[in-house]
């Protein structure tokens, strides 16, 4: 049980307490677990629940030590008086389980009680962590120690000193009782003469490790130390650093992360012991799960499920009106599991796990921590759909676990900088066409091609999130979406359908169709519950409302009227599409209806040549099926009369008799129209000043295929035609350079 053979364990790198900085972290595991599993922990379906190298049920009593160097007189908000333990640290863990089973402090004990199923009102969770807090003020300065392990050894000596202030009896921390399958289980030779676990937290930073290090799953020394007849093994503990900076919440989740390495087991170093540490960059549950390579705050539904703290509803037949309670509250119906595929031994190896996620509740009611903002994005509530596509029954962190982002999967493109493929610092990436089987969402490590070079390490982050040039080359998006935003979660307004026809889709990991999915029926704001319909066959998913229409865009097929286009829904029962208009934020009204499979619409009511339409006009589209069920609205597009009411100046006919006089104030390259096109399209641009202008067309590999303009131009508006009759279908980039102004846009040739 406790014979764990680790050396340097689980360094958890943290840059500071700001979410803006906690984006990517360095490795933290360099060793391997023994992997001893009690077979009673394995269920009939092959799932190991209850912890791997240490238990995830029962009661764990541990010593927690806060350490201060003699020369450390710094004060912070989290540590206002240098020589006095702050109240949050003094109460970091409860000395015992309260008689009424209610933890009053938002501390480590309460964190595990709530995470393991406690309700904060008297019903305890599966796993209780209690212990004693000690504050050791060292008489030596920081520079007097050769390394972190030496500090741990000194702390243990001080705690054990019979003439000192503590005289700790370490045998009190060798009494771990736990359950397997709900049945009390006692480890061999109880007590077995080995310290169960301990935490040593420094007020200051590490001596041995990088200053950014927040915690390490180990106490730093090499040999076994014996106190009171109890063997203290370095691996059965956690060293934490910078408690004066991190405070209560941060210190809790660093500790839980490191303990989690023992509960889930360690395999294959960094790549194996974290969900998003895999060499193939599969999945990113960062910020929503605890065992990730940075910025974990709480256990995800999947982690709680594997530890035996969550018993999801397994849906094996089409079921309507399932009420899903908040996953992080103690109640029935806290998660939904939709089976997808079983292996040859009839073990479930692929499934979708649905979590009802909220961040607007108090600590005692729902999530262990109140997390509302991630890289500037506010996340409040929604359904997280975890796709577990290759369950590893022995090592949970080796399972393929991904969040199905409700924003969808796309083939990503380098829309700026593709002509200089070796210089990535001028790149800009963006999602292109929908790609359900091989696409990427904003939370993924993204593949995109710049010129002739394909890069597989782009992130949906702005370059400003780092000063490192190598990282800047990877962070080439216009928004910081890598850790997620509100639109990654399914909800009644943004995206409520998940089937093989939706984006994202319920397609299996091998690329084949699956006939499973879910539909959000309603949300109750009082109880914070979602009601869902869940389907496991083709008949069931056909009963759902249509999926959200994709890729709504302005095509400009008619220069005087807005022209819309979108992708055709692939469900067999779609009857029509309804188009809605909002002029000058005056409210949404019906603009018209077209019969499926028609996927274009010209709004003849809006005439760009008339001043009445000079304000902004917005549109969205909904799909309607044969039973009159409607989809959620598509994303919106916007245009305006001013933008398009331009003098019809073009390369073929320079001045038109009735051209509108208008002063141009800035450079601008407009979307081509129509788009998609076959074989011709028009491109408009405007110049506020005279100068040399080039307008060129490139293919997706960055090769120049046409030059439309290469001469001096006067200030004004221009329009030029592009004939692609000799080119093949695909995505093309058009780029304008005028004086110091450069801009690129994409267009689609669809023959």
Reply yes or no on whether the pLDDT at 46 is more than 50: no
Q: How many residues does the chain have?
A: 751
pLDDT tens digits, 377-427: 888 899 999 999 988 887 888 899 999 999 999 999 998 898 899 999 999
Q: What are the sequence ranges of the domains in the chain?
A: 54-266, 301-405+487-542, 410-483, 553-644, 668-749
CB 746 within 8 A of CB 706: no
Lookup result for tokens 């058009």: 734
Reply yes or no on whether the pLDDT at 106 is more than 90: no
Reply yes or no on whether the pLDDT at 94 is more than 60: yes
Q: Phi and psi at residue 108, in whole multiples of 5°?
A: -60, -40
CB 444 within 8 A of CB 284: yes
Reply yes or no on whether the pLDDT at 32 is more than 90: no
CB 746 within 8 A of CB 429: no
Per-residue model confidence (pLDDT) at position 508: 95
Reply yes or no on whether the pLDDT at 60 is more than 50: yes
- Which 3 state secondary structure label does DSSP give 371? coil
pLDDT tens digits, 502-522: 999 999 999 999 999 999 999
Reply yes or no on whether the pLDDT at 668 is more than 50: yes
Read off the pLDDT band of 47 (50, 70, 90): low
Q: Phi and psi at residue 87, in whole multiples of 5°?
A: -60, -35
Per-residue model confidence (pLDDT) at position 607: 80
Same fold, 553-644 and 668-749: yes
Read off the pLDDT band of 176 (50, 70, 90): low
Per-residue model confidence (pLDDT) at position 96: 96
Cα separation, 178 vs 184, in Å, equals 6
Read off the pLDDT band of 659 (50, 70, 90): very low
- CATH architecture of the domain with range 553-644: Sandwich (2.60)
668-749 domain in CATH 3.40.50.1820? no
Reply yes or no on whether the pLDDT at 556 is more than 70: no
CB 424 within 8 A of CB 457: no
CB 289 within 8 A of CB 367: no
CA neighbor of 314 nearest in space, from 279, 348, 339:
339
Q: Which of 159-163, 370-374, 480-484 has the highest mean pLDDT?
A: 159-163
Per-residue model confidence (pLDDT) at position 717: 79
DSSP track, 555-578: --SBTTB-EEE-PPP--TTEEEEE
Quickly list H helices, 410-561: 469-472, 538-542
Quickly list H helices, 102-173: 108-115, 148-160
Per-residue model confidence (pLDDT) at position 338: 96
Query: Average of pLDDT values for 193-205?
Result: 91
Q: Give the CB-side neighbour count of residue 671, counting CA atoms within 13 A.
A: 20
Reply yes or no on whether the pLDDT at 669 is more than 90: no
Per-residue model confidence (pLDDT) at position 36: 41
CA neighbor of 212 nearest in space, from 26, 9, 74:
26
Cα separation, 388 vs 402, in Å, equals 7
Reply yes or no on whether the pLDDT at 153 is more than 90: yes
Lookup result for tokens 């597989």: 456
Burial class (CB in 10 A: 0-12, 13-18, 19+), 154: middle
pLDDT tens digits, 271-290: 788 888 766 667 788 888 99
pTM: 0.80
Reply yes or no on whether the pLDDT at 730 is more than 70: yes
Mean pLDDT of the chain: 83
Read off the pLDDT band of 187 (50, 70, 90): very low
Q: Between these two residues, 624 and 254, which has the higher pLDDT value?
A: 624
Query: Average of pLDDT values for 547-552?
Result: 94
pLDDT tens digits, 260-270: 887 887 787 77
CA neighbor of 203 nearest in space, from 33, 113, 86, 293:
86
Query: Average of pLDDT values for 367-375?
Result: 62
Query: Average of pLDDT values for 574-599?
Result: 94
């Amino acid at each position: 049980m406790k014979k764990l053979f680790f050396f340097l364990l689980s360094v958890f790198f943290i840059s500071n307490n700001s979410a803006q900085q906690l984006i990517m972290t360095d490795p933290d595991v360099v060793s391997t677990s023994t992997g001893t599993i009690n077979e009673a922990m394995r269920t009939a379906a092959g799932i190991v629940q209850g912890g791997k190298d240490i238990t995830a049920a029962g009661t764990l009593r541990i010593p927690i030590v806060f350490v201060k160097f003699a020369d450390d007189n710094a004060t912070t908000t989290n540590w206002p008086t240098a020589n006095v333990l702050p109240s949050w640290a003094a109460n970091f863990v409860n000395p015992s389980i309260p008689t009424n089973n209610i933890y009053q402090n938002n501390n480590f004990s309460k964190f595990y009680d709530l995470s393991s199923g406690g309700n904060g009102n008297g019903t305890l969770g599966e796993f209780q962590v209690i212990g004693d807090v000690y504050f050791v003020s060292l008489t030596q300065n920081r520079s007097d120690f050769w390394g972190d392990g030496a500090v741990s050894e000194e702390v243990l000596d001080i705690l054990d000193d019979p003439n000192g202030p503590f005289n700790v009896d370490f045998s009190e921390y060798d009494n771990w009782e736990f359950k397997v399958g709900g049945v009390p289980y006692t480890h061999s030779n109880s007590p077995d003469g080995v310290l169960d676990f301990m935490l040593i937290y420094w007020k200051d930073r590490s001596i041995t490790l990088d200053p950014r290090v927040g915690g390490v799953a180990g106490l730093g020394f090499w040999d076994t130390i014996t106190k009171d007849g109890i063997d203290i093994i370095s691996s059965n503990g956690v060293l934490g650093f910078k408690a004066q900076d991190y405070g209560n919440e941060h210190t809790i989740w660093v500790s839980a992360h490191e303990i989690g390495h023992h509960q889930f087991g360690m395999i294959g170093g960094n790549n194996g012991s974290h969900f998003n540490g895999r060499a193939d960059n599969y999945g990113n549950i960062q910020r929503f799960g605890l065992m990730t390579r940075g910025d974990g705050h709480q256990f995800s539904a999947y982690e709680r499920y594997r530890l035996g703290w969550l018993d999801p509803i397994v849906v094996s037949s089409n079921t309507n009106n399932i009420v899903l309670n908040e996953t992080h509250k103690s109640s029935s119906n806290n998660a939904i599991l939709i089976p997808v595929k079983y292996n040859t031994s009839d073990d479930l190896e692929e499934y979708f796990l649905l979590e009802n996620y909220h961040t607007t509740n108090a600590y005692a009611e729902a999530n262990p921590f109140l997390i509302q903002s991630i890289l500037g994005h506010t996340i409040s509530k929604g359904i997280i759909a975890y796709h577990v596509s290759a369950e590893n029954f022995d090592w949970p962190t080796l399972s393929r676990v991904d969040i199905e982002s409700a924003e969808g999967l796309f083939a990503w493109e380098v829309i700026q900088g593709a002509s200089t493929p070796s210089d990535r610092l001028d790149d800009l990436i963006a999602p292109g066409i929908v790609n359900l089987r091989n696409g990427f969402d904003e939370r993924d490590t993204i593949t995109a091609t710049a010129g002739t070079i394909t890069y597989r390490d782009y992130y949906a982050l702005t370059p400003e999130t780092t000063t490192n040039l190598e990282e800047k080359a990877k962070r080439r998006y216009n928004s910081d979406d890598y850790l997620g935003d509100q639109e990654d979660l399914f909800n009644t307004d943004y995206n409520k359908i998940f089937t093989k026809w939706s984006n994202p889709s319920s397609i299996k990991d091998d690329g084949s169709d699956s006939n499973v999915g879910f539909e959000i029926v309603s949300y109750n704001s009082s109880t914070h519950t979602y009601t869902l319909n869940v389907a496991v066959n083709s008949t069931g998913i056909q009963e759902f409302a249509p999926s959200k229409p994709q890729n709504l865009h302005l095509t400009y097929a008619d220069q005087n009227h807005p022209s819309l286009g979108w992708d055709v829904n692939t469900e067999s029962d779609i009857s029509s599409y309804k188009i809605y208009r909002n002029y000058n934020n005056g409210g949404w009204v019906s603009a018209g209806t077209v019969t499926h499979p028609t996927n274009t619409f010209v709004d003849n009511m809006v005439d760009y040549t008339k001043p009445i339409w000079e304000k902004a006009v917005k549109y969205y589209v909904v799909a309607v099926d044969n039973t009159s069920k409607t989809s959620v609205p598509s994303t919106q597009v916007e245009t305006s009369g001013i933008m398009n009411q331009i003098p019809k100046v073009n390369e073929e006919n320079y001045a038109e008799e009735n051209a509108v006089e208008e002063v141009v104030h800035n450079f601008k390259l407009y979307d081509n129209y129509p788009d998609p096109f076959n074989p011709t399209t028009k491109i408009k641009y405007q110049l506020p000043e005279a100068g040399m202008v080039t307008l060129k067309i490139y293919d997706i590999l960055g090769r120049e295929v046409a030059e439309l303009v290469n001469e001096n131009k006067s200030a004004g508006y221009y329009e030029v035609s592009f004939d692609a009759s000799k080119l093949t279908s695909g995505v093309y980039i058009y780029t304008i350079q005028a004086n110091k102004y450069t801009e690129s846009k994409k267009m689609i040739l669809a023959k």
